[in-house]
């Protein structure tokens, strides 16, 4: 923790802000179902990289923010992201030695779990999807993981976020 | 960890079952405003592009076209004034209440729900502009939906096609009343519980009936596109296509009716 850059916290906050923005960025109709779970990707990266910094509380606050931004039921994304963060905290030592492709496989499962929980809460509300299309973001998130991973890692090294 | 789990469960229960988080939500929406502002940048840039980088001849042509359209509309509105006066006189003769013209506020779309099953819009007008929950929302072609959440700077509206939305309508041709329900598709509404013998045809215009006190009378809602009368069923299956450009409108109108609805 000696080598901490001056903008360390800002980098984390800015990356979360970007993820939230990407999560509500208007996209064409045909892309709407496959929108990657940006927030899950960024959260998983920070939990793996800095498990002592970013954990369940961060996931909770981030999830509440996402609920507000998406207009979802309060706690829907918070619930899903807390579960994702918990699994990432439990797996981070293993994930760090995985290759990026193997990590993408785990991200696929994590994003899928995130989608399942969101779907479950939406069904409680009576506004669930009628088919399995809601699992598409798990695929797109896994596909984008290498890109997000390398981008955030170079940012983390550049700004010495530890 | 248990604490976090407890917080999540309590929040879910409070919002889903007891609707207890309205104030907290509207406060936190303020924090969400910058996110929408940034997410809206690309489309604003595209708008700017379209408005500023056009050739002079295009502008002149557009101007001419608008001038003609304005002339036609002006002519029609003169006629409208006399018709309206006549309508008020006739209504007075019939001892019924006079039709009042509704005031509108133009709002701009700054976000749409990222979730395809949730048909919601985010508007750039909020409590400060007098927007209230339950306020009807229209565009140039018809009814869009209603405001469901208001925060000081922005508000969130539910479209008539959302699976949780229903609206009382009547057939413009003969006044048959019905309820149009959203089914989660942007291009169709379903009219439920209309008996198979009711006089309703494909092509009929459905307008708001004003029953329920939420929406003002007479705004176009949808056009009946499909009717299936199965003798074995008690009710006809009717599908209607919304008149408003639900997935295309960028500027929308918030309607202030003469007397705001009281309560829920």
DSSP string of B66-82, one letter each residue = HHHHHHHHHHHHHHHHH
Both structure tokens of A141: 């998130």
CB B178 within 8 A of CB B191: yes
Per-residue 3-state assignment (H helix, E strand, C coil) for A87-142: HHHHHHHHHHHCCHHHHHHHHHHHHHHHHHHHHHHHHHHCCCCCCHHHHHHHHHHH
- pLDDT of B260: 46
Instruction: Give first-to-last CA distance, chain B, whole Å.
Output: 39
What distance in Å separates the CA atoms of residue B72 and residue B66, rounded to the nearest whole number? 10
A70 to chain B: closest CA residue: B113
Q: Write down the residue that tokens 């309206």 correspond to.
A: B84
| Residues of chain B contacting A57 with CB distance shorter than 8 Å | 4
User: What is the distance in angstroms between the Cα of B150 and the nearest Cα belonging to chain A?
Assistant: 12
Q: What is the pLDDT of residue B186?
A: 87
pLDDT, position B263? 45
- Give the three-class secondary structure for A154: helix
* pLDDT by position in tens, chain A (length 162): 557 778 888 999 999 999 999 988 877 777 888 889 999 999 999 999 999 888 899 999 999 999 888 888 888 899 999 999 999 999 999 999 999 999 999 999 999 999 999 988 888 877 777 778 888 999 999 999 999 999 999 999 998 888
Contact residues, chain B, for A125 at CB < 8 Å: 16, 164
Q: Per residue in B73-118, pLDDT tens?
A: 888 888 888 888 888 878 777 766 555 567 888 888 888 888 888 8
Give me the pLDDT at residue B88, please: 80
The two tokens of residue B43 are 């489309």
- Per residue in B32-49, is it b (16+ CB within 10 Å) or e — as a string? bbebbbbbbeeeeeeeee
Nearest chain B residue (CA) to A25: B39
Residue B230 token pair: 């199965």
Nearest C-alpha neighbor of B107 from the set B91, B128, B90, B86:
B128
Question: Which pLDDT belongs to residue B100?
Answer: 59
Give the pLDDT of residue B145.
93
What is the sign, positive or negative, of the torsion defined by CA atoms of B92, B93, B95, B97? negative
CB contact under 8 A, B35 and A79: no
Rounded Cα gap, residues B79 and B166, in angstroms: 35
Shortest distance between the Cα of A20 and any Cα of chain B, in A, equals: 7
Residues of chain B under the 70 pLDDT cut: 95-101, 258-264
Contact B11 A33 (CB under 8 A): no
ipTM of the complex: 0.73
Q: How far apart are CA B69 and CA B151, in angstroms?
A: 37
Residue B8 to residue A82, Cβ atoms within 8 A = yes
Distance CA B81, CA B90 (A): 14
pLDDT of residue A116: 92
CB pairs under 8 A between A and B: 107
- Count Cα neighbours of B225 within 13 Å in the Cβ-side half-sphere: 12
């Amino acid at each position: 923790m000696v080598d901490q850059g001056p903008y360390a916290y800002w980098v984390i906050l800015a990356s979360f802000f970007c993820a939230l923005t990407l999560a509500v960025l208007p996209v064409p109709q045909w892309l709407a179902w496959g929108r990657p779970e940006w927030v899950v990707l960024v959260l998983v990266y920070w939990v793996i990289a800095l498990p002592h910094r970013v954990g369940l509380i961060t996931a909770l606050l981030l999830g509440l923010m996402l609920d507000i931004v998406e207009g979802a039921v309060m706690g829907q994304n918070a619930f899903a992201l807390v579960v994702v963060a918990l699994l990432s905290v439990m797996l981070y030592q293993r994930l760090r030695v995985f290759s990026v492709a193997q990590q993408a496989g785990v991200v696929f499962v994590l994003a899928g779990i995130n989608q399942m929980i969101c779907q479950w809460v939406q069904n409680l509300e009576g506004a669930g999807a009628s088919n399995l299309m809601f699992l598409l973001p798990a695929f797109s998130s896994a596909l984008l993981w290498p890109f997000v991973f390398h981008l955030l890692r170079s940012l983390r090294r550049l700004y010495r976020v530890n | 960890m248990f604490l976090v789990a407890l917080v999540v469960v309590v929040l879910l229960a409070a919002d889903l079952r007891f609707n207890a988080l309205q104030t907290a939500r509207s406060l936190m929406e303020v924090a969400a405003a910058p996110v929408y502002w940034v997410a809206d940048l690309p489309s604003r840039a595209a708008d700017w592009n379209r408005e500023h980088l056009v050739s002079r001849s295009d502008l002149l042509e557009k101007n001419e076209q608008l001038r003609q359209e304005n002339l036609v509309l002006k002519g029609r509105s003169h006629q409208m004034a006399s018709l309206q006066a006549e309508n008020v006189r006739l209504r007075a003769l019939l001892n019924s209440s006079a039709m009042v013209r509704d005031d509108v506020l133009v709002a701009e779309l700054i976000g749409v729900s990222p979730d395809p099953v949730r048909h919601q819009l985010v508007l750039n007008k909020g409590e400060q502009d007098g927007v209230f929950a339950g306020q009807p929302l229209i565009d140039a072609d018809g009814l869009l939906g209603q405001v469901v959440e208001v925060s000081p700077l922005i508000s969130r509206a539910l479209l008539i096609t959302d699976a949780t939305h229903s609206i009382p309508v009547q057939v413009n041709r003969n006044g048959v009343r019905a309820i149009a329900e959203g089914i989660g598709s942007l291009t169709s509404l379903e009219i439920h519980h209309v008996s198979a013998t009711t006089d309703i045809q494909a092509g009929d215009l459905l307008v708001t009936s004003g029953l329920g006190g939420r929406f003002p009378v007479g705004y176009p809602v949808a056009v009946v596109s499909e009717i299936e009368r199965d003798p074995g069923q008690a009710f006809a299956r009717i599908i209607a296509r919304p008149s408003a450009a639900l997935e295309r409108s960028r500027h929308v109108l918030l309607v202030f009716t003469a007397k705001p609805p009281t309560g829920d």
